[in-house]
A and B are shown apart, each in its own frame.
Chain A
Amino acid sequence: MQLARVIGTVIASEKHEALVGVKLLIVQPLTPDEKPTGRPVIAADGTAMAGPGEIICMVGGREAAMVLERWFTPVDHGIVGIVDDIYVAVSAVPE
């Protein structure tokens, strides 16, 4: 799972029938110090509660679709949780 920040939403009227009713969010993957890493991706929101500005936890690959009720769905990133706090022990981070 990776950390990411929600930076926007996507609205699509014409889409695969399995995606009807699914919230799609644009998320920017982050490092634990909240710096962007890599390109933004579109993720299906499994919590149905994430919104722009929030830091979330997402899963990629085949597991992404399993955040949804209909889990045999063409989705490659899924939001699994909304992050309240990130604790990093600076002394434990390797060089």
Chain B
Amino acid sequence: MFLGKVIGNIVSTIKLKDYGGFKLLLVQPVYPEGTPWKDPVICIDIVDAGVGETVLYVDEGNSARQLLNLEPVGAVRAVIVGIVDEIQWQGDDGTLQSRMPPHDS
């Protein structure tokens, strides 16, 4: 699983039926301290996350298919599975740091 920040959403009318009824959000993958580390990914949202929130997402097909009950075949991969309340991590200086991401922007 990865940490990400929801930065927007995607609207798509013509899509595979695997995606029918799901909300698509743009998620910027971030380090624990909140800085980006790669290009944003599009995730299916099953936890009602919103723009500005820090979330937990999986980027792995088998997990995604299990979550969306699409087994054995579904062309899905990135799914938001949690909304983050608090993050604790070991900083460069070895001390334990923490932050509580805001629940809206």
Contacts and interface: CB of A to CB of B under 8 A. Distances in A.
Contacts of B8: 32, 86-89, 92
B75 A66 contact: yes
Interface in B56-77: 61, 64, 73-77
Interface stretch (A5-13, A14-22, A55-63): A55-63
Best-buried of A2, A66, A91 by chain B (most CB within 10 Å): A66
Nearest to A50: B14
Given A49-B14, A81-B15, A83-B10, A94 B105 contact: no
A94 B35 contact: yes
Given A92-B51, A92-B52, A84 B105 contact: no
A92 B41 CA distance: 15
Nearest to B36: A94
Interface of B is mostly: strand
B42 A92 contact: no
Interface string A52-95: 00000101111110110001000000101111111111011111
Given A84-B12, A92-B105, 8 more contacts: A1-B42, A1-B77, A59-B75, A87-B8, A91-B105, A92-B5, A94-B7, A94-B35
24 contacts: A1-B24, A1-B77, A2-B42, A3-B42, A29-B39, A32-B26, A46-B16, A57-B12, A59-B76, A60-B77, A63-B61, A63-B74, A63-B75, A66-B73, A71-B73, A80-B75, A81-B16, A81-B19, A89-B52, A89-B105, A92-B6, A92-B51, A93-B28, A94-B5
